[in-house]
Amino acid sequence: MSITIENINKHFGTYKALDNINLEVGSGELIALLGPSGCGKTSLLRIIGGLELADSGKLLFHGEDVEARDARERNVGFVFQHYALFRHMTVFENVAFGLRVKPRKERHHEAEIQRRVHELLSLVQLDWLHDRYPAQLSGGQRQRIALARALAVEPKILLLDEPFGALDAQVRKELRRWLRRLHDELHITSIFVTHDQEEALEVADRVVVMNKGKIEQVGTPDEVYATPATPFVYQFIGNVNLFHSRDHAPWTQQHGDAVAYVRPHDIDISTSPQDDTALPVEVKLVRAIGAIVRIEVSADDSCELIEIELSRERFDTAPLACGDKVYIRPRQFRVFETGETNELSAT
């Protein structure tokens, strides 16, 4: 089922949580809402789920206005960051809950409920835990149960609010892949909220980057990483070095105030100046982290650190040590006028 969001606004007191949001989600898509905390991503998700009401704007499911329908009538599955499992019920009863509270006419027979719940528990690979209580499960298991519970009512849309936010790194990674596989199997239109860029880029079909109640960019993971639309996206997704036109005029090639954005892996290092735009710097720190080597350098006249990433192979052909004087030059960069960048200086 497709979702259309038109001009949605939401205030909390004087605080503007959502500022004129427009978004189109295709049927069967897996979308990530990505942004720092307080950017409005969770508010947007809760509005779609009917847990919160927008101040103005339109929300359509498959072309149909759903603003008047409350959460229980929207047929939306919701997964919460802190699981929100019913702790006095067994795993089985948690998953069966949505089936048991259906109006009498639509309710299934007990045998059918049993069959369905066990089917869902097998889908999340936890059928063997069906008679346990939530308190007896690990975080990862609880979230999978929460997902099975949400899927029990056969929702047309699945909403996940920081689903892996409370889990440790290893489990998170595993569940991410698992969610992706599950989505490929079920093809439910899904939206998940995250502040973890790696998670968004790895799992989603399309990423919606949000900041301060506005959408900064919508695009495939590759698009938002390779061609960020705004300085904010540049900084939020991946690391970036900033070079101001005041100090690095030849790079920015701008007349006015501008800033060049350069990814750490888009910087070349050499021991002699490549051309007259090369910047003489001193190596301050060399740190090998797995397959990459992170180098921090600073220009002679400033104490600002510039971050550079090299592959280990490349580093090994010309090793560097602290205190070495070298020259750097960006291979690729993007320039934004200062007017645009002012916005992000506050973040």
The reply to whether 133 sits near other proteins by the rule CB under 8 A is yes
**Which range of residues in 82-90, 108-116, 258-266, 280-288 is near other proteins by CB under 8 A?**
82-90
Find the binder of other proteins among 101, 186, 226, 285 (CB under 8 A): 101
x/- map, 143-182, other proteins, by CB under 8 A: ---x--xx-xx-----------------------------
Residues linked to residue 160 through DSSP beta bridges, in sequence order: 79, 192
Find the binder of other proteins among 68, 135, 303, 321 (CB under 8 A): 135
Characterise 77 by phi-psi region: left (phi > 0), alpha (psi -120 to 50), beta (else).
beta
Asked if residue 30 lies in contact with residue 205, where contact means CB atoms within 8 angstroms, the answer is: yes
For 38, 166, 201, 265, the CA distances from 195, given in Å and listed in that order, are 10, 12, 11, 23
The reply to whether 84 sits near other proteins by the rule CB under 8 A is yes
Alpha-carbon distance of 238 to 261, in angstroms, equals 12
**Which range of residues in 68-76, 226-234, 320-328, 337-345 is near other proteins by CB under 8 A?**
68-76
The reply to whether 61 sits near other proteins by the rule CB under 8 A is no
Find the binder of other proteins among 31, 44, 48, 98 (CB under 8 A): 98
Q: What angle do CA 40, 234, 24 make, to 5 degrees?
A: 45
Parallel, antiparallel or unpaired: strands 334-337 and 189-194: unpaired
Nearest distance from residue 146's CB to other proteins, in Å?
8
CA within 13 Å, CB half, 54: 27
Using CB atoms within 10 A of its CB, is residue 10 exposed (0-12), middle (13-18) or buried (19+)?
Answer: buried
Asked if residue 78 lies in contact with residue 161, where contact means CB atoms within 8 angstroms, the answer is: yes
Positive or negative, the Cα torsion across 226, 228, 231, 232?
Answer: negative
Kindly identify the residues of this chain, within the stretch 20-49, that bind other proteins according to CB under 8 A. Answer: 49
Nearest distance from residue 118's CB to other proteins, in Å?
18
For 43, 78, 91, 138, 193, the CA distances from 85, given in Å and listed in that order, are 21, 12, 9, 13, 19
The reply to whether 347 sits near other proteins by the rule CB under 8 A is no
For 1, 47, 150, 157, the CA distances from 113, given in Å and listed in that order, are 25, 30, 15, 21
Find the binder of other proteins among 72, 115, 177, 325 (CB under 8 A): 72
Give the nearer residue to other proteins in terms of CB position, either 100 or 325.
100
Nearest distance from residue 153's CB to other proteins, in Å?
6
Give the nearer residue to other proteins in terms of CB position, either 51 or 124.
51
**Which range of residues in 22-30, 92-100, 169-177, 209-217 is near other proteins by CB under 8 A?**
92-100
Find the binder of other proteins among 62, 102, 177, 314 (CB under 8 A): 102
Give the nearer residue to other proteins in terms of CB position, either 85 or 308.
85
- At a CB cut-off of 8 Å and minimum separation 6, what does 39 contact? 210, 211, 212, 213
Q: Please give the residue ranges that form the binding site for other proteins (CB under 8 A).
A: 49-51, 70-78, 80, 82, 84-89, 97-98, 100-102, 133, 135-136, 146, 149-150, 152-153
